[in-house]
Amino acid sequence: MLLFVTGCSTIPNIDPSIESATSTWQGHHLKTEKIVSWQIKGKLGFKSPTQGGSVSIDWLQSEEQYQISMLGPFAASRATIKGNNLRAQMQHGKEQYTDTPQALALQLTGLSIPVNELAWWVKGIPSPNQAAVNDLRLTSAGTAAGFEQNGWQLSFPRYQDTDQGNLPGKIIAQRGQQSFTIVVSNWRFPRN
CATH level 2 (architecture), domain 36-188 = Clam (2.50)
The mean predicted confidence, pLDDT, of the chain is 86
| pLDDT at residue 101, rounded to an integer | 83
Per-residue pLDDT reduced to its tens digit, 46-70: 998 888 889 999 999 999 999 999 8
| pLDDT at residue 163, rounded to an integer | 94
Residue 23 burial class via C-beta count within 10 angstroms: exposed 0-12, middle 13-18, buried 19 and up: exposed
* pLDDT band (50, 70, 90) for residue 189: very high
Q: Bigger pLDDT: 10 or 66?
A: 66
Mean pLDDT of 131-160: 94
Strands 134-138 and 152-162: unpaired
CB atoms within 10 A of CB 51: 12
Q: Is-contact 17 30, C-beta < 8 A?
A: no
- Positive or negative: CA dihedral 174, 175, 180, 183: negative
* pLDDT band (50, 70, 90) for residue 192: low
DSSP lists the bridge partners of residue 55 as: 44
Residue 14 burial class via C-beta count within 10 angstroms: exposed 0-12, middle 13-18, buried 19 and up: exposed
| pLDDT at residue 107, rounded to an integer | 82
Q: Is-contact 19 135, C-beta < 8 A?
A: no
Q: Is-contact 71 78, C-beta < 8 A?
A: yes
* pLDDT band (50, 70, 90) for residue 164: very high
Q: Flag whether pLDDT at 168 surpasses 70.
A: yes
